[in-house]
Amino acid sequence: MDTLKLSERLAPLKGKRILVTGHTGFKGSWLTLWLRELGADVVGIALDPPTSPALYDVARCGDGLVDHRQDIRDAAAVAKIFSATQPQVVLHLAAQPLVRASYTQSRETFDINVMGTVNVMEAARDTKSVVAFVHVGTDKVYENVEQARGYRESDPLGGHDPYSASKAAAEIAFQSYQRSFFNVAGRPLAASGRAGNVVGGGDWAKDRIIPDAMRALAEARPIPVRNPNSTRPWQHVLEALSGYLTLAAELVNRNKQALGSWNFGPPDDNVKCVGELVKELVAVWGSGAWQHTPEPGAVHEAKLLTLSCEKAERELGWAPRWDFRETVRRVATWYQAVQSDGDAAALCRRDILDYMNG
Ligand SMILES: NC(=O)c1ccc[n+]([C@@H]2O[C@H](COP(=O)([O-])OP(=O)(O)OC[C@H]3O[C@@H](n4cnc5c(N)ncnc54)[C@H](O)[C@@H]3O)[C@@H](O)[C@H]2O)c1
């Protein structure tokens, strides 16, 4: 991205019919707004927005897109949508993405994350119009050995909790389709993007630190913090999306160097513990406090996980843009503005344009 502006880099997506699974979710909502900005024609497949409120509704993400409320576990229905809409690009985000929910809904998590992914890949493989397929993974696909160095794309996959294991299994299914079906004449070129926890305005999910923190600050309560010493690579949602969109644009351009799996993480300095994150959120918000609230009998949560993005930087020319302070500033000011009746769609658009043109 050094030589070409990001907006120029993503220009191949202009006018393309792009099918997004999980478009009603947190990342999917930001993605549909960004694709609209790029002049793409979006088709969505997802269930109803997973939270209330939801960014999808609050930022009117459904305006102008073809919205299919469809469970991806139904292979025939998914195939029918592909056949009817003839997308050129597929971005597959739909998943049961919550670690804690995966302990109580383990079968469902595997069904959606593994077989749902297989169903979407089958449909992409059988639809002649599809030229590019981007699978959305996670940093949790790596076997977490609590090592200090960032995980590389070549590190072993694995997973302790059902969510991580299901995403690692989905990644193995993706690799199988990659080797067996994609990337040959008449079939899509395919890549997988792996990012860590993302943050940004409009996340209202349960059991995620930013939504928990924003709810607490808005209600003038101390932010409840389960694990203040857990270290995470804090990354704005637009950083991860810029990785997926870069892959999609490169695949549309038939750049075979973009095939395979890619880590998209934040700068090393963004690796901070939850305690530092909440301190910074309170500072930007201008008031408030946080409180350590350990949970007796809490489920296992991995302590340390960072990604090495050397491959994406070296071979794709992708680099993260927003440091820790800028990331936290964008998040806290977004929620504060919406709380004071700011227009969520306009706030997202401002972040997207600043990110793309910055
Ligand atoms: N948010 C993060 O911090 C994060 C980090 C790493 C990876 N990811 C990955 O990014 C993707 C999107 O995550 P998110 O945070 O936006 O999640 P989200 O819960 O906000 O959205 C999930 C989306 O998937 C859809 N979905 C769920 N089950 C479905 C089903 N059976 N059929 C059809 N659609 C279904 C939902 O309707 C929703 O649109 C997921 O693949 C997740 O694993 C997220």
Per-residue model confidence (pLDDT) at position 302 = 60
Alpha carbons 336 and 339: distance in angstroms, whole number: 5
**Residue 344 pLDDT level (bands cut at 50, 70, 90):** very high
The pLDDT mean for the chain works out to 94
Question: With 80 as the cut, is the pLDDT of residue 3 above it?
Answer: no
Q: What is the mean pLDDT of residues 163-176?
A: 98
CA of 287 to the centre of ligand 1 (A): 32
Domain-located, residue 308: yes
The CATH number linked to 250 is 3.40.50.720
Domain that holds residue 160: 6-202+234-268+299-324+348-357
SS3 205: coil
User: Is 125 a member of any domain?
Assistant: yes
Mutation to probe ligand 1, out of 34, 74, 118, 138 (largest number of atoms < 8 A from CB): 138
Per-residue confidence band for 334, with pLDDT thresholds at 50, 70 and 90: very high
pLDDT band at 305 (very low <50, low <70, confident <90, very high): confident
Q: Which two tokens stand for residue 166?
A: 């299901």
Please name every residue paired with 224 in a beta bridge, in sequence order, or none if there are none.
291
Instruction: Enter the pTM of the model.
Output: 0.96
**Residue of the nearest CA to atom 22 in ligand 1?**
25
Work out the average pLDDT over 304-314: 91
99 Cα–ligand 1 center, Å: 12
Nearest-CA neighbor of 161 among 173, 143, 147? 143
The two beta strands, 89-92 and 231-233, are unpaired
Residues with CB under 6 A from ligand 1: 22-28, 46-47, 50, 71-73, 93-97, 112, 116, 136, 138, 167, 195, 197-198, 205
Atom 19 (ligand 1): residue with closest C-alpha? 25
The arithmetic mean of pLDDT across residues 244-263, rounded, is 97
Q: Is the confidence at residue 298, as pLDDT, over 70?
A: no
Protein residue with its CA nearest to atom 43 in ligand 1: 97
- Out of 114-128, 196-210, 301-315, the most confident range is 114-128
**Residue 46 Cα, ligand 1 centroid: separation in angstroms?**
9
Cα of 327 vs centre of ligand 1, distance in Å, is 21
239 close to 195: Cβ distance less than 8 angstroms:
yes
Residue 50, token pair as written in the block? 């997973």
Copy the structure tokens of residue 221: 């309560």
The 10s digit of each residue's pLDDT in 119-168 is 999 999 999 999 999 999 999 999 998 888 999 999 999 999 999 999 99
SS3 content of the chain, % helix, strand, coil (to 5): 45, 15, 40
Query: Which residue's CA lies nearest to atom 5 of ligand 1?
Result: 197
Q: What is the pLDDT of residue 1?
A: 44
CA of 332 to the centre of ligand 1 (A): 22
pLDDT of residue 230: 84
Tens digit of each residue's pLDDT (9 = 90 or more) over 70-108 = 999 999 999 999 999 999 999 999 999 999 899 999 999
- Would you place residue 202 in the very low, low, confident or very high pLDDT band (cuts 50, 70, 90)? very high
Pocket test residue of 47, 120, 174, 263 for ligand 1, highest count of atoms within 8 A of CB: 47
Say yes or no to pLDDT of 207 above 80: no
Query: In ligand 1, which atom is closest to the CA atom of 73?
Result: 31
Q: Residue range 56-69: average pLDDT?
A: 97
Number of structural domains in the chain: 1
User: Is residue 281 situated within a structural domain?
Assistant: no
Q: pLDDT value at position 299?
A: 66
What is the rounded CA–CA span in Å between residue 98 and residue 198?
A: 13
Would residue 15 count as lying in a domain? yes
Q: In the prediction, which pLDDT does 268 show?
A: 87
In a domain, 207, yes or no: no
Q: Which range is least confidently modeled, 28-32, 125-129, 155-159, 294-298?
A: 294-298
Ligand 1 atom closest to Cα of 48? 37
Q: Supply the residue whose CA is at minimum distance from atom 4 of ligand 1.
A: 197
Q: Among 48-62, 168-182, 217-231, which is the least confidently predicted range?
A: 217-231
Cα–Cα dist 213/335, whole Å: 11
Cα dist from 94 to 111, 192, 301, whole Å? 12, 14, 22
336 lies in a domain?
no
User: Percentage of the chain surpassing pLDDT 70?
Assistant: 97
Domain assignment present for 282: no
Domain assignment present for 217? no
pLDDT of residue 197: 85
User: Rounded mean pLDDT of 165-194?
Assistant: 97
